[in-house]
A and B are shown apart, each in its own frame.
Chain A
Amino acid sequence: MSVTRPVAVPGQVPLGTRVAKRLTGGALYIIVLVVGVIWLIPTLGLFISSFRKASDITGSGWWTVFTHPAQLTFKDYTDVFSNKGIIQSLWNTVLITVPATALVVLLGSLAAYAFAWIDFRGRDWLFVVVVGLMVVPIQVALLPVAALYRNLHIFGSIVGVVLFHVGFGLPFAIYLLRNFFAAIPRELLEATRMEGGSEWTIFRKVIVPLGLPAIASLAIFQFLWVWNDLLVALVFSNAKTQPLTVALQSNMRQFGSNIDILAPGAFLSLSVPLVVFFAFQRYFVQGLMAGSVKG
């Protein structure tokens, strides 16, 4: 899979046009509209609910705000922002996500460069192993890593959560970046070698700048993956180090009574990925295409 492939080829009339030929004009737009609305409504519901008092949420549907806009309030948000536990967990999310993303990008691109351009024995075979590791379920590693962390006294620490994310992020990172790096013209590397550039120089001066689109894709993917994670944090963090997802999850069991924390909290939790998604949609899609074999 390539990384640079555009989502649609401009100027090409797609085949689907033919298929959808029978659905002409109005009917087609109605279907599209209905589907679009179905896809938007759940998020819209959460968004609106996050601006309503708990009593309103349990008393009437969020759609009643369209007739009673007076229900809207920032109280839930001010409550959430003054909730020490939630703020701490939001901060933990950042503390986990940023290093986990940075480390995967750094270690992944180093290894990907080696796989793409450094000749060593067993290289192809090792790469097959890396591709194989992409689909290994997290579940198979939870218990042994938990035991390992207890021995290292990092169980419940942010370091542990970060390391686990880095481990399970690396195979995909290496796969994605290696394919992209390998497509960088060999002449550019050799032009640098001809001038005495070391491998490290080539990595910094050629691979990283030219591989930036793939690195961006990877960074976004890893960021979203770690930011949105629940399971890893559920196992490896404790009450002090838990990220937002875990903090919110613990409120889920009393959904009705905690909805005033859950709604704004969940919206807070999804707003950051959503901003990242809309800002870098192109890279996100590219990464998706390139890494669609990942599980």
Chain B
Amino acid sequence: MDDSLSAPSAAGDPPAAGPPSPIAHPLAGPSGPSGPSGPHPLAGHGRSPLRIPVRVRAGFLIPAAVILLGIIIWPAVDSIWLSLHNHDGSKWVGLHNYKTLFSDQATLKALKNNVIWVVCAPTIACALGLMFALLSEKIRWSTAFKAVIFMPMAISFLAAGVIFELVYQQDPNQGVANAVAVGIHDTFAPSSKYPGAHPRTDTAKPAAAGSFTSVKTYTAGSVVQLPLVGIQAAKLPGKAAQAAAPSAAPAPDQIEGTVWLDIIYGGGGTPNHIDTGKKGMPGISVKAIDTATGKSAGSASAHNDGTFTIKGLKPGAGYALEIPASNFAQPYRGIQWLGPSLVTPAIIASYLWIWAGFAMVLIAAGLASIPRELQEAARVDGANERQIFRRITVPLLAPVLLVVLVTQIINVLKVFDLVYVIAPGSTLPDANVLAVHMWSVSFGGGQDQGLGSAIGVFLYILVLPAMYFNIRRLRTEKKEGR
């Protein structure tokens, strides 16, 4: 990318060709070939006084070559051989392992997850990177911002795994993700004040979905007593006051009543009776259901002393009282991040936490390298900012985005540590990816060399297009003289 880095010219390369000679070649006679008709017969004829002995050249190359052969090249070939054999390599099974690869449920799940990974992670990483790169160019302390976003790159996947295991803890008192989720949830849907409270069965019986309906039917103008039990007196809100009896004679179109906790802190008292020490349950809502129509005719919520008044009823009509489930709902416990359905997205999120910085740094460099003159020229020609972004920035940034994308795809195909570390044992099968599956099949108990090798070879085939991309890019760079 930098023009100052010129092409390598080994000792034997011709000097850089300058502009074509302005001089005609009047002497180009019969002694010299007059056109590119193959190499000159003398080419490379002379023995250079600088000739490097073979053993010296070998000394530079052989150590690396031996290790590359032993650790990558030969094993890669041997893997193909192993993948055509059974679990301990003793029997030729042909393509059987590859058939298993595409039929075995566990492997298919891993394959499916890999597809999700490859589709989501690189694109989102790219999008986040682009966004952060654009943001960071706008702000003053962009160096600090970039360092913060980029820092996870230095952290091991294992440490990241521990970090995200903490983040994703189920208990909102431990996991920050659920703490936030519960916080947000409760802001929009406050949880009930009396989870677990319920009336005695002689006053009200459980109805649909956790609500309770009174056993008796009340006519408008009567008084109702609704004692509840099931929670500790200490859990009552501080504003709860000594329960009070409803007024003796309600208006004909009203039902009055009291909802109270039928327990005295420390014990004592008579059941179903408002004793001293029993407190009202403020905020409990009570509905009056018209027994004739089955529809709600009105509702009220209890005061601090537990009294409530339902107004606007038809005098003389019969009503059942319902205490809706919302009064007793269990508190929201957050999201099961590492459960079967969310485990893969959750791990992908942690992957993005690590790799968005990588995309950001590369894209920021790409943005910085776009010549300022181009956009200025466009602006002079009357282009607006949107057009400049679409017509100049995006096309010029495309090669960088492509590089980021390809790099990420290769990364994602091979992702192992994050999944292996973060996914709890119980949901590991749901989070499985090929790299992890390969490990479990070959080392983590499976001991099936054949299938393991087949997965390895399959992963290798998947990255082949990326390999081709890299090599082509290398060729283009060479052509451009870099």
Contact = CB atoms under 8 A, between A and B. Distances in A.
Query: A and B touching (C-beta < 8 Å)?
Result: yes
B163 to A, nearest CB: 4
Given A41-B176, A140-B459, A171-B68, A46 B407 contact: no
A5 interface: yes
A111 B68 CA distance: 11
| B64, B154, B403, B459, most chain A CB atoms within 10 A | B64
B283 to A, nearest CB: 27
A133 B221 CA distance: 88
Interface stretch (A21-29, A67-75, A80-88): A21-29
Contacts of B162: 46, 248, 252, 262-263, 265-266
A92 interface: no
Contact of A39 (B4, B56, B149, B369): B149
A47 B54 CA distance: 55
Contacts of A31: 135
- Most B CB contacts (10 A, CB to CB) among A116, A131, A138, A171 go to A138
A190 B11 CA distance: 8
Interface in B220-242: none
Main secondary structure of the interface of B (DSSP, over half): helix
A259 B358 CA distance: 30
Contacts of B65: 111
B4 A4 contact: yes
A262 to B, nearest CB: 5
Interface in B33-68: 50, 52, 56-57, 59-61, 63-65, 67-68
Given A108-B64, A273-B156, A293-B403, A14 B137 contact: yes
Interface in A1-21: 1-9, 12-21
Contact of A63 (B6, B179, B364): B179
Contact of A269 (B134, B156, B367, B473): B156
B60 A7 contact: no
A28 B135 contact: yes
Contacts of B190: none
Given A43-B151, A49-B166, A136-B460, A131 B474 contact: yes
B413 A119 contact: no
B143 to A, nearest CB: 9
A294 B407 contact: yes
Interface of A is mostly: helix
Contacts, number: 376
B174 A57 contact: yes
B209 interface: no
A233 to B, nearest CB: 10
A118 interface: yes
Contacts of A111: 60-61, 63-65
A20 B135 contact: yes
Contacts of A198: 56
A227 B393 contact: no
Given A18-B388, A20-B137, A167 B68 contact: yes
Interface in A253-268: 253, 255, 259, 262-263, 265-267
B362 A288 contact: yes
A179 interface: yes
A281 B406 contact: no
B362 A228 contact: no
Interface string B56-88: 110111011101101111111011001000000
A260 to B, nearest CB: 12
B439 interface: yes
B437 to A, nearest CB: 10
A135 interface: yes
A29 B135 CA distance: 9
A40 B95 CA distance: 48
Contacts of A193: 50
Contact of A230 (B68, B152, B421): B421
Contacts of A45: 163, 166-167, 176
Contact of B367 (A14, A40, A231): A14
A249 B421 contact: yes
B133 interface: yes
A252 B161 contact: yes
A60 B365 contact: no
A132 B151 contact: no
B8 A9 contact: no
B410 interface: yes
Contact of B166 (A46, A181, A292): A46
Given A16-B134, A170-B67, A288-B361, A119 B148 contact: no
A32 interface: yes
Interface stretch (B289-297, B314-322, B463-471): B463-471
B179 A269 contact: no
B381 to A, nearest CB: 15
List the 9 closest A-B pairs by CB distance, nearest first: A167-B71, A295-B410, A182-B8, A228-B156, A2-B2, A277-B154, A16-B137, A183-B5, A144-B75
10 contacts: A3-B5, A39-B148, A46-B159, A141-B75, A143-B449, A183-B8, A229-B156, A231-B417, A281-B147, A288-B361
Given A277-B154, A278-B147, 13 more contacts: A12-B372, A15-B388, A19-B389, A35-B149, A39-B149, A42-B166, A111-B64, A137-B456, A143-B452, A144-B75, A168-B72, A265-B162, A295-B414
